[in-house]
Amino acid sequence: MSTSSPGSDADVALYLHAELLPNIRQITLYISLHPNPALNAIHPKIHLSNSCNSITVSLPEPFRHVTETIELPARVSDATRLALNTNFARTTPINSTGASYEHSFRMQIDPADPALSPKDTIMDDYVPWTAADMSTRTRIRCRACEAPFLDTPNARISKHREQDDYSGWEWKDLPSGNWAEMMDFWHCHKPDPLEDKPTSEATTVRSSEDKTAQLKGYGATSRIEATPGIVFIDVATFLLAESDCVGLQKAIEEEQEEPQKPRTLECANCKAIIGLDDPSIGGWRCWKANVSLNTNESGVDQWQSHSNELIIAAQLLELIQRESARRFVVHSQRKNGLLLWVFNPDLRYSTSSHGRSINAQRAMKVFFQTTEDIDSILTRDTDLSSPLSMEELELPPMVLQTLTNALLKSHGMLPLSARTFTEWKIGLLNRYSRDDSSSL
C-alpha cells in the first residue's frame, strides 16, 4: 500500500487493480488516486518489469514517495511497455466525482502465456479437502481452541487375530448432489435383458442384482449413512459417526417442533459452533471452515484450515457444475438473505488493496443484492423461464453473515467504476486452488 512521507503537504494515496479478460486476450488495469486537487494534472509513471509479469506505478514530484507494485494476472506483451505511458499522457480520468481520480487501461496479453491455454475452469479442482488429501491418521480439531474432535484412530479387533489392528480412518468422497436422482432414474429405466428367461430364473437373477446394487450403493432405495471408522466428505462438511467423535456436543436449544430437524453441534471446550447433528443420516456434520486438519501420515504437527469464503465459493461452483445455474437465492431458514449472480466463476486478478496479496489471485466475480423477503422470491421463481431461474442455497446464520461481509469488503476494494452493474453490487469471492498455498 502506498505511503505518505513525513511532513508531506498533501494526503496522497495510490491504488492499483488488474483483471484478466481471457476471451479478448487483455488485462484491464485500474489506477486510482486519492481525491486531491493537486493530483488533477498529474500523470503517474507506469513501469513494466523486464519479465512483463508485474507493473509499478509512481507519482512525480512532489509526491515521488508514492509508489505501488502488483504482479499481473498474466504476462503482457512487450509492446505494452511503450503504449501504457503514451496513452496515459493523452488520458483524462474516467472518474473524478470527488471520491477518487481513476484511470483505466487495456493491456494485450502475451500470446504464449499459459493463461490463454484452453481449459475447463469449472471442472478444475475447486473443493478443499477431498479424500485424496487424507491419510489413515488424519486428525480433526476445533479451529478456535484446538480441542480434538477426531484424534487417534479407533482400535479395531481383527476377526482372525487376538491383537488390535490399527487400520486408521477411512475417507470417502460423497457423490454430487444429483447422484440419488440419477441412480433412481437408472434403476427404473435400465434395459431389461431377462425377458426371454423363465420366470423363476429371471426372479432369481433380479434378486441377486438388487442385493448387489444395495451392497455397492446404487440401489433404488440406497442412501448414505454415517458409519463408524469411515469419514464421508462433501463440498462443505465432514460426515462422522457420533461414536467416533470426542469433544463435540449438541448445543442446548429450546424444544424443537420437528424432532428430525438438525441441531447445532458445538465444541465442548470453547462452545464454538462446529456443525450440525443430522438425524436423516444418523451422523454429525462438521463444517470445514470451523475445523483444522492435520493430514500428515508421519504424525508431524502440521495443521491446515480454510476460510468460510473458500468453502462457500466451492459450494457455488458445485451448483454451477451440477445445475448449470448462475443465479442463486442464499438464505438462512428462509428469512433475510442474498441474491447472487455469478458473473465470472474463474477470475484472475491482482490488487494493491490493504489486506490483500499483491500477487495474482483467483476468485469469482459475483453480482449481489440483499433482500428481506426470501419467500416471495422463491415463490416467484417458479414462474420464471429457465435462463432466469434461481437455485436455492441454505447456510447457517453465521456462515451467511460471513458471506455477506466478504462480498461487502471486496466491493469496497474494487475501483469505483467497477463496483456496480445496474441495480447489482459487484464483489469478489476468493476460490480454492491447489497450487495456491495461501489458501491453506
pLDDT, tens digit (0-9, with 9 covering 90-100), for 38-60: 666 677 888 999 999 999 998 88
- Which residues are CB-neighbours of 379 under 8 A, at least 6 positions away? none
- Give the integer Cα–Cα distance in Å for 112 and 405: 38
Residue 61 is assigned to a structural domain of this protein? yes
pLDDT, tens digit (0-9, with 9 covering 90-100), for 133-182: 998 889 999 999 999 998 766 544 343 334 445 567 899 998 866 555 55
**Domain count for the chain:** 3
Residue 302 is assigned to a structural domain of this protein? no
Contact indicator for 411, 419 with CB cutoff of 8 Å: yes
For 306, the 3-state DSSP assignment is coil
Strand order, beta sheet including 291-294: 148-150, 139-142, 291-294
Please tell me what DSSP assigns to residue 137: T
Quickly count: other Cβ atoms within 10 Å of residue 258's Cβ: 7
What's the number of CA atoms in the CB half-sphere (13 Å) around residue 288?
26
| Residues 137, 170 within the same domain | yes
| Residues 318, 369 within the same domain | yes
Q: Is the dihedral of CA 73, 113, 364, 389 positive or negative?
A: positive
Instruction: Report percent pLDDT > 70 for the chain.
Output: 70
User: Going along 118-272, which residue ranges are E strands?
Assistant: 139-142, 148-150, 156-157, 164-165, 170-173, 230-233, 237-240, 248-250, 263-267
Last residue of a domain, one of 92, 116, 140: 116
Domain hosting residue 215, numbered range: 131-294
The CATH number covering residue 69 comes to 2.60.40
Residue 3 is assigned to a structural domain of this protein? no
Residue 267 is assigned to a structural domain of this protein? yes
| Residues 166, 74 within the same domain | no
Last residue of a domain, one of 272, 294, 316: 294
Residue 72 is assigned to a structural domain of this protein? yes
Residue 122 is assigned to a structural domain of this protein? no
- Give the integer Cα–Cα distance in Å for 49 and 37: 30
Please tell me what DSSP assigns to residue 97: S
Highest mean pLDDT among 102-106, 202-206, 250-254: 102-106
- Give the integer Cα–Cα distance in Å for 141 and 286: 10
| Residues 140, 266 within the same domain | yes
Last residue of a domain, one of 294, 322, 355: 294
Where residue 299 falls (left for φ over 0; alpha for ψ -120 to 50; beta otherwise) is: left
Residue 261 is assigned to a structural domain of this protein? yes
- Which pLDDT score is estimated for 8? 45
